[in-house]
Amino acid sequence: MALDSASTFLFVPGDRRDRFGKAAASGADVVVLDLEDAVAPGDKDAAREDARGWLAAGGRGVVRINAAGTKWFEADAELVRAAQAPVMLPKTEQPAVLAELTGLPVIALVETALGVENARAFAAAPGVARLAFGSVDLAAQLGVAHDDRAAMDPARSRLVLASAAAGLPAPIDGVTTRLDDLARAGEDARRARRLGFGGKLCVHPRQVEPVRTAFAPTTSELAWARRIVKTAGLSAAAIDGQLVDKPVVDRARRLLEAHARGEIR
């Protein structure tokens, strides 16, 4: 599935090549080969070679490289350039660093206060495919709990607005760290969708299905969209007691078109 329409992004540690195939078979729209937080400093070079081998053999995935300014960044950037692989750039803060990844689709992971403040600028930069929210790192910087919704939602909304202003697809929400609570993963995803997100990062294969379900339109939503498209005319009208004008009709049509393409199920 294309990056712009994917809703489930599954991380797999870059130094666990034995898990790459399992992640690809998990049903996730996108597998993210993680060379950053999931890999200890002493294993970075080996993980990079494992990712290189997987991609060279025809495996597919986004590569989360190490952040600009780290000693691994240049070698990681060389890997994704050579493989022409989509890349997730952690701790994105300034548009200038994106020049190192020219020609590649980039998911800009926003994990710092400066990144949130500058999100509008790099969302408009060439090559940026989507924004993603790094809630855990940002919460640590702010001194709040990463699962405190009241504390984190203002930053989430900033990413939604920055994406819309730049004409990007809806951003990707951060992880749910409670691995044994699949209901929480689904609940977090449904809430993110209400805020305007279009996908979510997953850290375990079991989270994929509840997240996918949460981002799919419900039966009642599809019925509403079909009724709006069928009933609405060229001017504003009242349908089911609600004012319906062009923006509402456009939203209904987009939902039905995406569903028909299989982008949301």
Q: 216 and 208 in contact (C-beta within 8 Å)?
A: no
**Per-residue pLDDT at 235 exceeds 70:** no
- Within its chain, how far is the Cα of 36 from the centroid? 16
Whether residue 120 is found in the same domain as residue 223: no
**Per-residue pLDDT at 8 exceeds 70:** yes
> 236 is in which domain, residue-wise?
219-261
Section 61-81 average pLDDT: 97
Burial (CB count within 10 angstroms: exposed 0-12, middle 13-18, buried 19+), residue 216: middle
Question: How many beta carbons lie within 10 A of that of residue 107, not counting itself?
Answer: 26
pLDDT for res 243: 63
pLDDT for res 234: 53
**How many H-runs (helices) and E-runs (strands) does the chain carry?**
11, 10
Section 168-173 average pLDDT: 97
Q: 264 and 258 in contact (C-beta within 8 Å)?
A: yes
Q: Which of 24, 102, 19 is nearest to 61 (CA)?
A: 24
pLDDT for res 1: 54
Q: Where does the pLDDT of residue 216 fall: very low under 50, low under 70, confident under 90, or very high at 90 and above?
A: confident
Whether residue 130 is found in the same domain as residue 43: yes
Q: 54 and 85 in contact (C-beta within 8 Å)?
A: no
pLDDT for res 2: 86
Whether residue 10 is found in the same domain as residue 67: yes
Spatial distance between the Cα atoms of 111 and 93, rounded to a whole number of angstroms: 8
Q: 238 and 244 in contact (C-beta within 8 Å)?
A: yes
Whether residue 31 is found in the same domain as residue 144: yes
Q: What is the pLDDT of residues 115-130, one digit of tens each?
A: 999 999 999 999 999 9
Spatial distance between the Cα atoms of 205 and 156, rounded to a whole number of angstroms: 24
Residue ranges for the known binding site for Mg(2+) are: 111, 137
pLDDT for res 255: 75
Whether residue 36 is found in the same domain as residue 79: yes
Whether residue 92 is found in the same domain as residue 159: yes
Q: 202 and 10 in contact (C-beta within 8 Å)?
A: yes
Whether residue 211 is found in the same domain as residue 251: no
Section 62-79 average pLDDT: 97
More confident residue, 262 or 240: 240
**Which one-letter amino acid corresponds to residue 256?**
L
Whether residue 208 is found in the same domain as residue 240: no
Q: Where does the pLDDT of residue 265 fall: very low under 50, low under 70, confident under 90, or very high at 90 and above?
A: very low
Question: How many beta carbons lie within 10 A of that of residue 10, not counting itself?
Answer: 24
Residue ranges for the known binding site for substrate are: 64, 111
pLDDT for res 261: 60
**Considering its fold, how many domains does the chain have in total?**
2
pTM here is: 0.88
∠ Cα 95 150 128 (to 5°) = 20
Whether residue 57 is found in the same domain as residue 148: yes
Spatial distance between the Cα atoms of 69 and 41, rounded to a whole number of angstroms: 14
Q: 116 and 92 in contact (C-beta within 8 Å)?
A: no
Q: Answer with the one of 179, 195, 215 that is the final residue of a domain.
A: 215
Q: What is the pLDDT of residues 16-54, one digit of tens each?
A: 999 999 999 999 999 999 999 999 999 999 999 999 999
Whether residue 59 is found in the same domain as residue 135: yes
More confident residue, 76 or 100: 76
**Per-residue pLDDT at 230 exceeds 80:** no
Section 143-170 average pLDDT: 96
Section 159-171 average pLDDT: 97
Q: 200 and 192 in contact (C-beta within 8 Å)?
A: yes
More confident residue, 72 or 238: 72
Q: Mean of the per-residue pLDDT values for the chain? A: 91
Residue ranges for the known binding site are: 64, 111, 137
